[in-house]
Structure 1
Amino acid sequence: MWARFVRHAFAPHSHPTFAIGVVERGLEKLRIGDRTEYVGPGGLVLINPGLVHTGAAAAAGGWTYRVLYPPADLLAEATGAGAPWFGPSVVDDHDAAEAVVAAHRAAEEGDALASSTLLLTTLAGLGSRYGRARRDRTRRRAGARHAATARDVLQARLADPPSLDELAGLVGVGRFALVRAFRERYGLPPHAYLNEQRVRRACALLEAGHPPAAVAAAVGFADQAHLTRHFRRMIGVPPGQYRRKNVQDR
């Protein structure tokens, strides 16, 4: 995706894929986990799947950027690593940023051979420079099992979610303990995670050609306006404009 934003501020969200972006103009302010980062022209952003972050303009003119969303299995193929993971989230690497832009432009121009080749070589280079062994300690945290069970319930009941009381009862833990464990595991409280999953499902349905009003009902939003509000906060554009490749917010 290529996009320019001036007024829009992304709500806390994550992606099921990697997000690899380059700021071309302006200045972006990112909140990644518990850190605040500022990224200017040529800055390279490497967001791991599931990492909660925000984004907003840090200068009057907003910011323009290109971003790729490679799935984890593609990065694994490119790097030869079983579970690739990026260490730093923001890096200053002119050559790597140029490689990301070149891969993006090739895809934009419809050159399938060049875009796939450049993408794989770019991912291999990023993996060799910034890849790390993934350290997942959440399995050992108290409450991780409860959080995972609650997640499964929410994913299965997007259109008819339980109340917090019901969810805690299904999981077999107190409400406050569940919210605390869920936030520790997934970076968001249950209600915010639910809306994120609804928006992800909405993206897939919109890409399949379903109209926004039908999508809103299918994923559990009260109406199209409700869908549009959450969709824009997380994706940056309304559902009707989602399939556009180039996006501008003025």
Structure 2
Amino acid sequence: MDLLKARYITHRFSRHVHDGYAIGVILSGVEEFDYRGARHRAGTGNLVLVNPEHVHTGHAGEPGGWAYRMLYPSIEVMADIAAEVTAGRGTPYFPEPVVSHPHATALLRGAHDAAEHGDGLASSTLARTAFGALLRHHADHRPADARPTKEDRAVRRAREILHERLVDPPTLEDLARAVQAKPFTLIRAFKAVTGLPPHAYLNTLRVRRARGLLDSGTPAAQVATDVGFTDQAHLTRHFKRIVGVPPGAYQRAGTYKTAL
């Protein structure tokens, strides 16, 4: 599980999604973010709970910016914990993006501190305990999906194609042709389902893959080529917009991991 600690003043996160959960503790200041059609504010002591594959942004909500600690548990980890502590099945869902839970906040800060000091057992124990508390008090079952339409099926296939072709993506016209849709119809449907147009979704996928390669020690210049960016500067621009730090800083010291 990735963990991140950072302080931002002028940085603005572009619209992006995570394949797992994004759970943050606001240490100081105020973060504002757009999420599920509304603007939210999280201040000192608040917890931010973002569900998988939900588009969101992020920027300072006051001149001094904000500092936070983030944890990114996978869907599988959260579903496993939910099955233990709530007897629930399926993917947990947090209906409220900003909550107050002092006990969970203390546990998550402790998990971060333990991971920084290399104590994996303490970190994973504290993180799981915190996630269990959040699931018991703040989670619900994921809303049932409506019966898929023809456009939904086209978007699902288009997403699959973009996953398969990070390095040599099709043009919009070719993508639309492959899923038997008109280009403008596909753009509209894709954004309705994912919150992003196809090209922005592709860049999110590339950054997601880049994080994994950087974690494995691959040099940033090679990562840029491997995920389909034209050069390292192109990777850096998109990586910083989504992750919040440049690839080199991310690889050196920007994140650390704990096993769950």
Assess same fold via TM > 0.5. yes
Q: Give the C-alpha shift of residue 245 in structure 1.
A: 4.1
Alignment of 1:80-229 (within 5 A): 80=83, 81-82=88-89, 83-229=91-237
Give the corresponding residue for 2:245. 237
Q: Are residue 28 (structure 1) and residue 31 (structure 2) matched? A: yes
Asked whether the 8 Å contact 1:23–1:65 carries over to 2, the reply is yes
Give the corresponding residue for 2:22. 19
Which whole-Å CA distance do the structure 1 matches of 2:106 and 2:252 have between them?
24
Give the corresponding residue for 2:77. 74
Identity %, equivalent residues: 46
Q: Give the C-alpha shift of residue 116 in structure 1.
A: 1.3
Asked whether the 8 Å contact 1:2–1:245 carries over to 2, the reply is no
Q: What is the root-mean-square deviation in Å for CA atoms of aligned residues?
A: 1.4
Q: Give the C-alpha shift of residue 104 in structure 1.
A: 1.9
CA distance 1:88–1:22, change in 2 (3 Å): same
Q: Deviations over 1:134-184 (max 9, x none)?
A: 114254345110000000111111110111001000110111111111111
Which whole-Å CA distance do the structure 2 matches of 1:114 and 1:215 have between them?
32
Which whole-Å CA distance do the structure 2 matches of 1:214 and 1:111 have between them?
32
Which whole-Å CA distance do the structure 1 matches of 2:65 and 2:59 have between them?
8
In the alignment, structure 1 segments of 5+ residues that lack a partner are: none
- Comparing 168-177 with 82-91, which one deviates more in the overlay? 82-91
Q: Deviations over 1:90-119 (max 9, x none)?
A: 112222222221222222222122111111
Asked whether the 8 Å contact 2:104–2:131 carries over to 1, the reply is no
After TM superposition, the score normalised by the length of structure 2 is 0.91
CA distance 1:142–1:171, change in 2 (3 Å): closer
Q: Deviations over 1:207-229 (max 9, x none)?
A: 11111111111111111111111
CA distance 1:41–1:141, change in 2 (3 Å): farther
Which whole-Å CA distance do the structure 2 matches of 1:212 and 1:84 have between them?
34
Which whole-Å CA distance do the structure 2 matches of 1:7 and 1:52 have between them?
20
SS at match of 1:140: coil
Which whole-Å CA distance do the structure 1 matches of 2:134 and 2:79 have between them?
12
SS at match of 2:251: coil
In the alignment, structure 2 segments of 5+ residues that lack a partner are: 256-260
- Comparing 218-227 with 76-85, which one deviates more in the overlay? 76-85
Q: Give the C-alpha shift of residue 61 in structure 1.
A: 1.2
Asked whether the 8 Å contact 1:32–1:51 carries over to 2, the reply is yes
Q: Deviations over 1:4-31 (max 9, x none)?
A: 1111100001111111101001111111
- Comparing 130-139 with 29-38, which one deviates more in the overlay? 130-139
SS at match of 1:232: helix
Q: How many residues align?
A: 247
After TM superposition, the score normalised by the length of structure 1 is 0.94
Runs of 4+ in 1 over 6 A off after TM superposition: none
Which whole-Å CA distance do the structure 2 matches of 1:218 and 1:243 have between them?
16
